Structure 1
């Protein structure tokens, strides 16, 4: 089966009726958890971005609380899982500020983990890569937002 381009799919959807579109969306939501999560975001949470960020932060808090800190190996696995979820949630939103806020929160929580991630080279490097990614994303924002997020980033880096 040849997978069609987005342009072709868009043209075909424009010719579909409202009932057909509804059926397609519901069928799409049944097949993959990510599709259902995206539909949930678009229908229920897209209008309140701040509420969405808070709910994602609560989810991240639960993951950080359940982290096994007995070994850096287990910490590394959980931290990577959290980072994957942040990327997924950021992709749903499609707003750079949401992604930056979630990554700042992630780095803030990483600094608070005991034992310190800075004693492990791999985790410390992961943290530094996230800091660099945040700095790069901040540069693409408006000047006022750049200042606000840069101040937050500097505060997080001083907590090390």
Structure 2
């Protein structure tokens, strides 16, 4: 089966009643965890972006506390998983400010991780790539935010 385009889906949804649209959304949410998470964000958390950011930061804190630091192999696996989770939450938001703030927070936590990431090339490269990505995203933000986030970025680079 070939998937329809977004434009075709939008036209079809406009012809449906609101009850039918609700039923379609609920059915869609049943099939994938990510669909359910996105609907949760859109319905309950999109109004308060700062609250959403704080909840994601709390989850990141929990994930960092659960890292097995006995081996760099386990650290790398855990850090990649945390980054995947953050990127998923960033996709839900679609807000550049949220993206930069969450990635800066991730980099802060990664830099503070013990044993040091600077002893492992893979972790150091992952950290550097995120800093470069943040640097590319900064010009898209408001000037005040550029300055604040730029200060944090400078601190992380040192």
TM superposition score normalised by structure 1:
0.96
**Counterpart check, 1:108 vs 2:144:** no
Q: Give the Å deviation of 1:152.
A: 1.4
Give the Cα separation in 1 of the matches to 2:10 and 2:145.
34
Q: Give the Å deviation of 1:37.
A: 0.3
Gaps of 5+ in 2: none
Q: Give the Å deviation of 1:146.
A: 1.1
SS of equivalent residue, structure 1 residue 3:
coil
When the two structures are aligned, how many residues end up with a matched partner?
158
Q: Give the Å deviation of 1:41.
A: 0.5
Residue aligning to 2:32: 32
Give the Cα separation in 1 of the matches to 2:81 and 2:2.
32
Give the Cα separation in 2 of the matches to 1:150 and 1:97.
12
Residue aligning to 2:15: 15
Trace 1:1-160 onto structure 2 (pairs within 5 A): 1-158=1-158
1:86-122 Cα deviation digits (max 9, x unpaired): 1100000010010111000000000111100011011
Q: Give the Å deviation of 1:157.
A: 2.5
Q: Give the Å deviation of 1:139.
A: 1.7
Runs of 4+ more than 4 Å apart:
none
Gaps of 5+ in 1: none
Q: Give the Å deviation of 1:147.
A: 1.1
Q: Give the Å deviation of 1:36.
A: 0.3
Root mean square deviation, CA, Å: 0.8
TM superposition score normalised by structure 2:
0.98
Give the Cα separation in 1 of the matches to 2:124 and 2:137.
20
